[in-house]
Amino acid sequence: MKNKIAIILLVFVGLFSCNNLSDSIQLSASNVSNEKNKINFEITDSTRFFIANELTKISYTGNYPTSFPIIAIFLEESVRKQNEGSKSETELKIIKDVLIKGRPKSYFKIDIGEKITTISAAEDEGLHNGINYFRKLILEKSGKIPLMKYEDFSAIENRTLHLVMRNDSIEKFYSYIDSARYYNYNKIILEISNQIDLQFFNRIEVTKKKLNRKDFLKFIDYTIKSGFDIIPEIKLLTKQKKTFSNKYPELLFNDQTYDPRNSKVYEKIFQLIDEVITLIPCNSIHIGHDEVYGFGEKEAEKKIKILPASLFAEDVNILFQYLKSKNKKTLIWGDMIWSRKEFPNERGNKLSLENYENVVNLIPREIIICDWHYKSKFSEFPTFKKFDDLGFEVWGATWDDLLVMSNFTAYAKKQKLKKEFGMIATTWNRDIKTVYEIIRKSGKKFWNE
């Protein structure tokens, strides 16, 4: 029965296989660039090999493959397709070892022997990463791997891919998830748009390209079983052109921003939040709050009524408290929070009011700040360190610029931070080829390459 289920799933997963994304792995320690990672690497015998083939026995301890069948199926597919006709009876053991202590969640170790290979870690995430590395070895070496010992982990605890579910086929998103798993991401921020079949959006407008609820829930299940924590992003406060502006103009502060002073606003918002967390198992919600309407140069020319800092902070606090009551953490974009007086060279909104300089002191320190820098040509990102100094957990965010990916990630890794930190690869409005490049290049930078 187990084999039948695996075969059925393999047919489905095969549609979104990432085998073509394999990067060459150099079997030396030279690919380790992060001094914080104490990584052991040793080829114990380059003349003898572990032969992956259709006879290879794969065994698991811990939650595999029940909780993460997608990863298990990709592994089995990679192993079984190698060395056709080989009679080598080898064994691959996936071991959840609770005796491994004092290591990050991403840590794994691999011991490749001629007959038995073990991949072990204390956490599920470490096993995910160990399996990924072993799959890359299989693909690179055509299933014939020299005997070796290897340990690895990332200095970045939260390696996150940001996806926008808007005007794309669901098949693309499955392939993005597979690619993200291959490149060792562990979290997905999923922006919730009106393309998704939610009651809140259905009351507002009918979208032509609507992703029905059943298909959406299948995708969510696939993502979780691929080993990811999902963080829904709900665009709140501003950028409300397709929500409040269409249906509830009486609740607006300006053309695209709802009015935090009106209690009826939160009757609607809380309904949306409740619907999202009912559909998507999650520990955190991203509440948006970037690029508040009225601060741009074109908007200034139109003399748009600008939301005061006090109302921005009031909205953040209301949402934070509501999410806290639901046992959810709050994430927020950082561009409206850092001081332009203190960081005049940073690229953010072109204009700001002086009273926004104090917003950072008006919001709870438990909030996670997502500090985005997409086109900066600097090698340092002092807003990132400043947020940590103020007591926030901070995740850096990049986009499609390789120099920024490299510089920002390197800067973040070098900082002595008080709290756990992360990096986010955003994919805003890019074609599928560029999205794959972002996933690949950012994923490698967020790890140790």
Q: Residue 188: phi, psi to the nearest 5?
A: -125, 120
Q: Are residues 246 and 372 in the same domain?
A: yes
Structure tokens that stand for 356 in this block: 């926004």
Q: What percent of the chain has pLDDT over 90?
A: 66
pLDDT in tens, 66-81: 899 999 999 999 999 9
Q: Are residues 148 and 162 in the same domain?
A: no
Query: What is the chain's Cα-based Rg?
Result: 23
Instruction: Round to whole Å and give the CA distance between 425 and 433.
Output: 15
State the pLDDT at residue 13.
Answer: 43
Residues 151-177: what's their mean pLDDT? 91
State the pLDDT at residue 35.
Answer: 40
Instruction: Round to whole Å and give the CA distance between 437 and 447.
Output: 15
We report the CATH number of the domain holding residue 308 as 3.20.20.80
Q: Are residues 179 and 317 in the same domain?
A: yes
Domain's final residue, options 129, 152, 175: 152
State the pLDDT at residue 250.
Answer: 92
State the pLDDT at residue 438.
Answer: 97
For residue 44, the Cα-to-chain-centroid distance in whole angstroms is 35
Q: Are residues 50 and 71 in the same domain?
A: yes
Residues 277-282: what's their mean pLDDT? 96
pLDDT in tens, 387-402: 999 999 999 999 999 9
For residue 7, give its domain range. Answer: 2-152
pLDDT band at 423 (very low <50, low <70, confident <90, very high): very high
Instruction: Round to whole Å and give the CA distance between 278 and 293.
Output: 30
Q: How confident is the prediction for the chain on average, in pLDDT?
A: 86
Q: What is the DSSP string of 282-310?
A: -SEEEEE--S-TT-SHHHHHTTPPPPPHH
pLDDT in tens, 51-63: 999 999 999 988 8
Asked if 13 and 392 touch (Cβ cutoff 8 Å), the reply is: no
Q: Are residues 387 and 414 in the same domain?
A: yes
Residues 364-379: what's their mean pLDDT? 93
Q: Give the residue carrying structure tokens 């986010």.
A: 424
Residue among 292, 319, 317 nearest 306 (CA): 292
Q: What is the DSSP string of 76-130?
A: HHHHHTSSTT-----EEEEEE-TT--SS-TT-EEEEE-SSEEEEEESSHHHHHHH
Strands 368-372 vs 393-398: parallel, antiparallel or unpaired: parallel
Helix (H) and strand (E) counts in the chain: 13, 16
Instruction: Round to whole Å and give the CA distance between 394 and 391.
Output: 9
Q: Are residues 8 and 146 in the same domain?
A: yes
We report the CATH number of the domain holding residue 26 as 3.30.379.10
Alpha helices in 183-231 (DSSP H): 199-202, 213-225
Q: Are residues 423 and 404 in the same domain?
A: yes
State the pLDDT at residue 80.
Answer: 92
Q: Has residue 248 got a pLDDT over 80? A: yes
- Cα torsion 412, 414, 416, 422: sign: positive
Domain's final residue, options 93, 127, 152: 152
State the pLDDT at residue 202.
Answer: 67
pLDDT in tens, 102-161: 899 999 999 999 999 999 999 999 999 999 999 999 999 999 999 999 999 999 999 999
Residues 246-270: what's their mean pLDDT? 92
Domain's final residue, options 88, 120, 152: 152
State the pLDDT at residue 209.
Answer: 65
Give the list of residues 6+ apart from residue 1 with CB closer than 8 angstroms, or none: none
Q: Are residues 50 and 174 in the same domain?
A: no
More confident position, 185 or 337: 185
Asked if 173 and 180 touch (Cβ cutoff 8 Å), the reply is: no
Cis bond leading into 65, ω under 30°? yes
Residue among 162, 141, 35 nearest 442 (CA): 162
